[in-house]
A and B are shown apart, each in its own frame.
Chain A
Amino acid sequence: MSTPTKAQVLREEKLFILLFIISIFLSHIGIIGIEDSTIMPNYFIALIVSFILMSKANLNLYKILTIGLIVDVVVGQLIGQYGLIFMAIYLLDLITIKMIVIKNEKQIEGLSIFLILSSFIILWITSKNYDMFIPLKTLLLQAIFTFIAYLFFKVIINKYISK
């Protein structure tokens, strides 16, 4: 795969910003038809996982931390929580692709599930430590919805980039 040109990266970054703003609004809206409004995907985790796995927008550790801190300030509960989660996603992806040869779509989907679950475990641990507890059952349902959101983001990214 060739190195993306500057124009391509700029295009991907624009898409990232757009999806990020959409995620901010979506994170304030419950899913229609589900009585418990807290059962909703974590759009930010889905967005970060999709961009990292597709190697788009030239994301690095510094950018990831900055995005995490923005999420913490805008919709988060604790400053640093999402910074930590996004960094963990980035590092886990880096370690995995250094250790395992990721060649096909199924492997990528498997990796995405692993990254989403890992990030939710960190979210659960930090929420438990910092007194803003989410029940584990709710969190698992959120993880399933997040995976669906990840697939949606992936489709959008593919369509937009291939245009």
Chain B
Amino acid sequence: MDPERPLPQPITPEAKPYWDGLKEGALMLPRCTACGSTFFYPRILCPRCGARDIGWIKASGRGTLYSFAIAHQSINRAMKVPPPYVLAMVELAEGPRMLTNLVNVTPDPKALRCDMPVRVVFSKLTDDVTIPLWEPAS
């Protein structure tokens, strides 16, 4: 359990497959049935073609570190993970990007570089909520 983080809220109905998947250890992504585009965050239409026929795929859990920053303080006061920690934007192998933390790494710019390979790890916050974090993939 990881009680140090603000819980995600409010969870919205269109994101239920995403949150349900994480509880089972799967990173699920919305995918447009019409044009095949995979996107994130979940919404009821495809931001590429506008179609409202959205399915879900299980992501590979692989990606690259698109960008990062080192938080030396938590400006967001609800965040209780002790700084320094790595704020990250990951580009998933499937295309979309997500904000996250890079963990299991020294929070030092010298230990990190943009485009380094990363893989998903799951962090259980409560019995109902698990969030995806990412770590270096050697």
Q: Does A associate with B in a complex?
A: no
Binding site for B on A (CB under 8 A): none
